[in-house]
């Protein structure tokens, strides 16, 4: 018995040393008040459900861009008139029966035609040091379904939760930079539009990347991370997150995720939806898929579907901010380690 106690006492300092005190310090900027502040606006009636191409979606884009700017993230989208900006514009074509596609090579006559929807992705860049040409891309979609028959579909979880996480990550990484802690690799934080119309914003970016895809180390995609699904409610297990794609596509990245979680956040990493053959086929249903098609390693994080998915009842009041914070901090720790060159 004494030998076991001594063995455990020997392990404790090694465990503590495994934690990066600097990462712990800046993860604290991902707080419940920070997440709630952003989500309360993103999922407000003022933005009318953020349907792609609407005034509400464009207000959300401006809010995100202003936050990136206020935190000192770099604008990297080239604009011949204004210099670099945070907005990556693109155009969507609407067809019969609510079918949509991206216009990849727009000409003047194309972007003014009937059924054309102008929209935009929003990008904020943190430049690395010795490996700055390599980039970690972290994504969430900020569009939702808009309004229908007088009801506003605010999309607090889908994907206001992911969008708010991106904004909180911007704050945490920006504070680290201000304190002199710069990543080895660069980090691109990107919120995309057109996801609900067919993953169109991420399709446009991966076909017209600002950073070459061969220099994109991985994509961490965050879509619906503020709730608990039916299964975990029944199991009374709120401390989980679904992980999709990494175990099949890149075991090394998956191993780093597991190690990071074991070191910092101690969530239950649930791979139940990870199979490409799962009936819900979540692997194909969010923006990571467009990166995966180009052989970029990906991890898709989600809490899974719940009773308010794609309903007008997906509101801020139902968000579990404590679990949202914990998940967001896991994403921060993982991105921190990847940007340091540990993957």
Q: What is the mean pLDDT of residues 213-226?
A: 98
pLDDT band, very low/low/confident/very high, at 12 (cuts 50, 70, 90): very low
pLDDT per residue over 97-156, tens digit each? Answer: 889 999 998 665 556 678 999 999 999 999 999 999 999 999 999 999 999 999 999 999
Burial class for 76, CB neighbours closer than 10 Å (0-12, 13-18, 19+): middle
pLDDT for the residue numbered 252: 96
pLDDT for the residue numbered 106: 65
Q: Are strands 216-222 and 185-192 parallel, antiparallel or unpaired?
A: unpaired
Q: Give, as one character, the DSSP assignment of residue 319.
A: -
Task: For residue 160, give the nearest of 54, 319, 33 by alpha carbon.
Answer: 319
pLDDT per residue over 263-300, tens digit each? Answer: 999 999 999 999 888 899 999 999 999 999 999 999 99
Q: Report the mean per-residue pLDDT for the chain.
A: 93
pLDDT for the residue numbered 110: 59
Q: What is the pTM of this model?
A: 0.94
Q: What is the mean pLDDT of residues 77-82?
A: 78
**Which tokens belong to 36?**
């709630």
What is the Cα–Cα distance from 165 to 49, expressed in whole angstroms?
A: 18
The CATH code of the domain at 22-86+121-339 is 3.40.630.10
Strand ranges, E, within 110-232: 116-126, 131-141, 146-148, 151-153, 185-192, 216-222
pLDDT per residue over 48-65, tens digit each? Answer: 999 999 999 999 999 999
Confidence check: pLDDT of 5 > 60: no
**Which tokens belong to 261?**
């979680």
Cβ atoms within 10 Å, residue 251? 10
pLDDT band, very low/low/confident/very high, at 261 (cuts 50, 70, 90): very high
Task: Give the three-class secondary structure for 116.
Answer: strand
What is the Cα–Cα distance from 185 to 220, expressed in whole angstroms?
A: 15
Share of the chain above pLDDT 90, in %: 85
pLDDT band, very low/low/confident/very high, at 79 (cuts 50, 70, 90): confident
pLDDT per residue over 308-321, tens digit each? Answer: 999 999 999 999 99
Alpha-carbon Rg for the chain, nearest whole angstrom, is 20
């Amino acid at each position: 018995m004494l030998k076991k106690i001594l063995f455990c006492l020997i392990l404790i300092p090694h465990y503590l040393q495994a934690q990066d005190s600097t990462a712990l310090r800046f993860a604290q900027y991902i707080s419940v008040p920070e997440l709630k502040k952003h989500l309360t606006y993103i999922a407000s009636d003022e933005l009318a459900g953020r349907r792609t191409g609407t005034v509400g979606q464009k207000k959300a884009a401006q809010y995100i861009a202003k936050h990136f700017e206020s935190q000192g993230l770099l604008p990297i989208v080239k604009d011949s008139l204004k210099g670099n900006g945070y907005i990556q514009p693109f155009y969507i074509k609407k067809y019969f029966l609510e079918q949509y596609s991206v216009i990849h090579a727009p000409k003047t006559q194309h972007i003014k035609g009937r059924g054309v929807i102008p929209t935009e992705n929003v990008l904020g860049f943190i430049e690395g040091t010795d490996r700055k040409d390599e980039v970690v891309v972290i994504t969430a979609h900020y569009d939702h379904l808009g309004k229908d028959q007088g009801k506003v579909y605010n999309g607090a979880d889908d994907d206001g939760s992911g969008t708010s996480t991106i904004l909180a990550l911007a704050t945490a990484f920006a504070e680290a930079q201000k304190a002199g802690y710069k990543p080895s690799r660069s980090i691109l934080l990107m919120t995309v539009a057109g996801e609900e119309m067919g993953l169109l914003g991420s399709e446009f970016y991966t076909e017209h990347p600002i950073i070459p895809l061969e220099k994109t180390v991985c994509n961490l995609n965050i879509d619906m991370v503020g709730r608990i699904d039916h299964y975990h409610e029944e199991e009374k297990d709120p401390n989980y997150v679904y992980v999709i794609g990494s175990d099949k596509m890149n075991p090394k990245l998956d191993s780093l995720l597991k190690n990071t979680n074991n070191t910092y956040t101690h969530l239950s990493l649930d791979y139940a939806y990870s199979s490409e053959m799962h009936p819900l086929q979540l692997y194909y249903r969010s923006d990571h898929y467009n990166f995966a098609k180009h052989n970029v390693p990906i991890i898709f994080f989600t809490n899974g579907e719940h009773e308010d998915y794609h309903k007008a009842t997906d509101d801020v009041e139902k968000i579990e901010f404590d679990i949202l914070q914990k998940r967001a901090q896991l994403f921060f720790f993982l991105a921190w380690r990847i940007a340091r060159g540990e993957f």
